[in-house]
């Protein structure tokens, strides 16, 4: 299996320079593009909209040397073109998936139950807290840190966090995605147990 391309600091810096020579403006443009990508994927019903937005950015960054030399026009439009192709890939993948049998599907409260929404929120919060406790201290700290900043500060902080852990930013994203996936599974199991009581 071929080795998957990973985002490096150099390619990320080149990507930002391609967006705008002014570092601050480039950071804003990057955040705006990423935010738009997340919205697009969310509107299209993608479960992991942030992950697919990051994959779009990685694919553009992988071709940044060619783009820098040949591409004319608004860089955002190129990102949206790549996102469109990723949506097609995602649709094909989703169509190939088989739904879980009803007995394995996540349990839900009856909609006519009084305060069903508030009871569900309370159960989810209890399960989230319990599942966060089950994570290793390092994984819990990584997850909380990863989502602790906004806009340009978030980009800079995630780079610092990746350097501190001795990994690439892309590797950090993958690790956080895996932590979130295991957290999601834990919460689903926990909610199932709570509803059976």
Average pLDDT over residues 165-191: 84
Euclidean distance between CA atoms 197 and 192, whole angstroms? 9
d(C-alpha 35, C-alpha 29), whole Å: 10
**pLDDT-derived band at 82, boundaries 50, 70, 90:** very high
149-158: per-residue pLDDT in tens?
776 777 778 8
Q: Identify whether the C-beta of residue 69 lies closer than 8 Å to the C-beta of residue 193.
A: no
Q: What is the torsional sign of CA 15, 19, 22, 27? A: negative
Q: What is the structure's pLDDT at 195?
A: 61
Give me the residue spans of the domains in the chain: 1-97, 102-197
CATH classification of 102-197 is 1.10.10, yes or no?
yes
60 pLDDT tier (thresholds 50, 70, 90): very high
For residue 104, what pLDDT band results from cuts at 50, 70 and 90?
Answer: very low
For tokens 């299996």, what's the residue?
1
Question: Which pLDDT does position 61 carry in this prediction?
Answer: 92
Q: Long-range contacts: 84-87, Cβ < 8 Å, 24+? A: 86/52, 86/55, 86/56, 86/59, 87/40, 87/41, 87/44, 87/46
pLDDT of 12 over the 50 cut: yes
Task: Report the 10 Å Cβ neighbour count for 89.
Answer: 11
Structure tokens at 65: 């040397």
Looking at per-residue pLDDT, the higher value among 100 and 177 belongs to 177
Sort 136 into a burial class: Cβ within 10 Å, 0-12 / 13-18 / 19+.
Answer: exposed
Is 74 a residue whose pLDDT tops 60?
A: yes
Give per-residue pLDDT as tens, 108-135. 544 454 555 566 678 878 888 888 888 8
Q: What is the pLDDT of residue 103?
A: 43
Give the pLDDT score at 181.
84
């Amino acid at each position: 299996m071929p080795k998957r391309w990973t985002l490096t600091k150099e390619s990320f810096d080149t990507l930002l320079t391609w967006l705008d020579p002014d570092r601050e403006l480039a950071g804003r443009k990057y955040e705006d593009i990423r935010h738009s990508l997340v919205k697009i994927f969310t509107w299209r019903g993608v479960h992991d909209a942030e992950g697919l937005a990051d994959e779009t950015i990685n694919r553009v960054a992988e071709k940044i040397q060619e783009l820098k030399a040949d591409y004319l026009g608004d860089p955002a439009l190129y990102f949206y073109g790549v996102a469109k192709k990723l949506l097609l890939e995602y649709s094909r993948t989703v169509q190939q998936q088989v739904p879980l049998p009803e007995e394995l599907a996540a349990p839900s409260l009856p909609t006519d139950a009084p305060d069903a929404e508030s009871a569900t929120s309370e159960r989810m919060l209890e399960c989230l807290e319990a599942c966060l406790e089950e994570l290793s201290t390092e994984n819990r700290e990584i997850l909380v840190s990863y989502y602790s900043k906004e806009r340009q500060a978030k980009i800079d902080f995630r780079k610092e966090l990746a350097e501190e852990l001795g990994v690439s930013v892309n590797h950090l994203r993958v690790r956080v995605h895996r932590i979130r996936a295991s957290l999601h599974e834990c919460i689903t199991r926990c909610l199932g147990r709570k509803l059976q009581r």
